[in-house]
Structure 1
Amino acid sequence: MQTEDIRYRAPDGLELYAKRYGSEDASLTALCMHGLTRNHKDFEPMIAELGGRCQFISVDVRGRANSEWAKDPETYTPAVYAGDMAALLDSLHLKKVALIGTSMGGLMSMVMAASMPDRIRGIVMNDIGPVVEKAGLDRIASYANSVEPEESWTAAAATVERVQTDIFPDLSGEDWMAFARRTYREMEDGRVILDYDPAITRTVGEVKPDPDVQAQMWQLFSATHAAPLLVIRGETSDILSPETADKMIEQHPDARLVTIPRVGHAPLLDEPEAVSAISDFLNRLGAE
């Protein structure tokens, strides 16, 4: 599959990065938006499985991987990220896209559905919803707020396995190394470090249950009702509860829920159940 590096400017001047997979002449483009501490490489396993079904544009949200770190950490918010995505679509002259959002990327999808509904053909929300479970946020905060270099790639893979083995119990040694290669970068001294600005995680552990905020989030979710929706949930997820996922499907006029067995937060989207569901979804959007 052909690929291309894309560099563009955010509204505040920050230089951001995305990568194109597939032909820009494809009839459908899927914009892939990663979770809090991940980057564009998070979608490479999925893209490898889905092949040439459409053009994929996978982003590095500001503060991650090949995108510049924000001068003002207060801009590390889904609303600002969504504005960055609008700038990307404008720079590529893309009028309408499908959205595939993992975790934070799914929250970005909700914001985009509200702020630019005419540009959205359909949405895949991966293990995220209007209610984000506190237990999962606490777990993420427990490791994401500590960004210390590892002495080698082998050490990084061992750390990834230790942190993520309960989430992905069926991954092997080679899988953990591939996981590390997608989430760490090598420093000049040969050590490796998680590939993001530590400031992106500053408020993760501060989130508290608030009925007013939850009501606002459900109202924001209602913006997705204008487009077809595919919700993917990890069977053991501690971020998206079964109750929230079911309520999302009940409220949405054109939605489907797929649960990925033996996986927590968040599915890698190369699981057979995820590949089949996303393939069908994209085929449907491409035919419309």
Structure 2
Amino acid sequence: MVSTPVVQSSPRLDYVVCSSPSGVHRMAYWEWGDPSNKKVLLCVHGLTRTGRDFDALAQALSSEYRVICPDIVGRGKSDYLVDPDSYIVPQYVADIFTLIARLQPTTLDWVGTSMGGLIGLGVAGALINLQRLHAWDTDHILNSSWAVPFRRMVLNDVGPVISAEGLARIGNYIGDELFFDSFEQAVEHAKKQWKSFGPHTQEQWEHLTRYVFHQQDGQWNLTYDLGIATPFKRQFIEQNEAASELLVQAAQKILWDAYESLPAETLIVRGETSDLLSDEVAQQMLQRLPSAQLYQVAGVGHAPTFMSPDQIAVLKRFLLQE
């Protein structure tokens, strides 16, 4: 008798303890699928979002993968950092390595939206540096728990060059304190704030709102630490205005090197009207990694949410191809 797979209606919540220069913190992660499955898919969200953004995609893939959707520190169910200056990609990369060590996957695939894609590039770059440092000890690297290669990578509306226009738009609202008297008001705000996500049903907008707002003292306010705005604005807004061309080029070279180290099975997703990943940069990404593929989502800006059946179908075909 063939058993019917159990359909998981909601994720399991767990935590991993990570460290920063100012102490330790817990990073929450949402888990779908068989916890003994060593085939892992990591889904990493954007700047102010949470791992619950991936519920629809994770549920659709949970029969094939152990799907892990972390709340990056400072967001969702994760702790806030004592020092807001630590809300930077290197800290997030370190936390992800701690999570990978907990999961011990045999294969690792990645879906990264915006910031989640940059974290993925950071992890890929760190693995390349590790291999270079231990080039003399090939056997150790191949047998190391850190040597889990990316099998397939999805970069969702992000690349090694990020548009200043998109960064400025995000900088205009990140860190703003918001209070609403009802959940319905928060949903209406979300529809306007994230209209670039494209068309969604009322139920989908409520889902996209529910995990980035929470009720406190009779009002609905943001769940993320407003302190994440401090290093973001300094690094991406103020620095862009003051940095020399040489500094910008050096930063982009690091990202391009990491990008070019990605596996052959890389999918670039771009919202058709994205103000963060330009069509020009997307085409350059295809040229510099000729095996990569491009999926452009019509009627969407920054960034596709992978909630609609057509978007999910494209990712399933890419991730599950043999």
Unaligned runs of 5+ in 1: none
| 1:185, distance to aligned residue in structure 2 (A) | 1.5
2:283 & 2:249 partners in 1: Cα distance?
Answer: 16
Match of 1:184 among 195, 203, 213: 213
CA contact (8 A) 1:232 1:274 kept: no
Q: Determine whether 1:195 maps to 2:195.
A: no
Which secondary structure does the structure 1 equivalent of 2:240 belong to?
A: coil
Given the superposition, is the C-alpha separation of residues 94 and 51 from structure 1 closer, same or farther in structure 2, using an over 3 Å criterion? Answer: closer
Match of 2:257 among 222, 225, 236: 222
Which secondary structure does the structure 2 equivalent of 1:43 belong to?
A: helix
2:50 & 2:252 partners in 1: Cα distance?
Answer: 24
The 5 Å alignment of 1:1-288 reads 1-2=7-8, 3-12=11-20, 13-26=24-37, 28-117=39-128, 118-119=147-148, 120-165=150-195, 167-187=196-216, 189-202=217-230, 203-204=232-233, 205-208=237-240, 211-212=245-246, 213-224=248-259, 225-227=261-263, 228-284=265-321, 287=322
Given the superposition, is the C-alpha separation of residues 89 and 190 from structure 1 closer, same or farther in structure 2, using an over 3 Å criterion? Answer: same
Equivalent position amino acid for 2:208 in 1: F
**Percentage of pairs with the same residue:** 30
CA deviation digits over 1:38-93, x for unaligned, max 9?
A: 01111112223445231110001111111110111121111110110000111222
CA contact (8 A) 2:30 2:52 kept: no
Unaligned runs of 5+ in 2: 1-6, 129-146
Highest CA radius of gyration, 1 or 2? 2
Given the superposition, is the C-alpha separation of residues 243 and 151 from structure 1 closer, same or farther in structure 2, using an over 3 Å criterion? Answer: same
Count of equivalent residues: 283
Which secondary structure does the structure 1 equivalent of 2:211 belong to?
A: helix
CA contact (8 A) 2:166 2:275 kept: yes
2:14 & 2:293 partners in 1: Cα distance?
Answer: 32
2:28 & 2:208 partners in 1: Cα distance?
Answer: 20
RMSD: 1.9
CA deviation digits over 1:99-143, x for unaligned, max 9?
A: 111000100010100112532222111000111111111111222
Given the superposition, is the C-alpha separation of residues 92 and 175 from structure 1 closer, same or farther in structure 2, using an over 3 Å criterion? Answer: closer
Equivalent position amino acid for 1:7 in 2: Y
2:84 & 2:254 partners in 1: Cα distance?
Answer: 27
| 1:257, distance to aligned residue in structure 2 (A) | 0.6
Give the TM-score, by structure 1 length: 0.91
2:104 & 2:60 partners in 1: Cα distance?
Answer: 27
CA contact (8 A) 1:46 1:268 kept: no
Match of 2:135 in 1: none
Match of 2:141 in 1: none
CA contact (8 A) 1:53 1:282 kept: no
| 1:218, distance to aligned residue in structure 2 (A) | 3.8
Given the superposition, is the C-alpha separation of residues 64 and 122 from structure 1 closer, same or farther in structure 2, using an over 3 Å criterion? Answer: same
CA contact (8 A) 1:258 1:274 kept: no
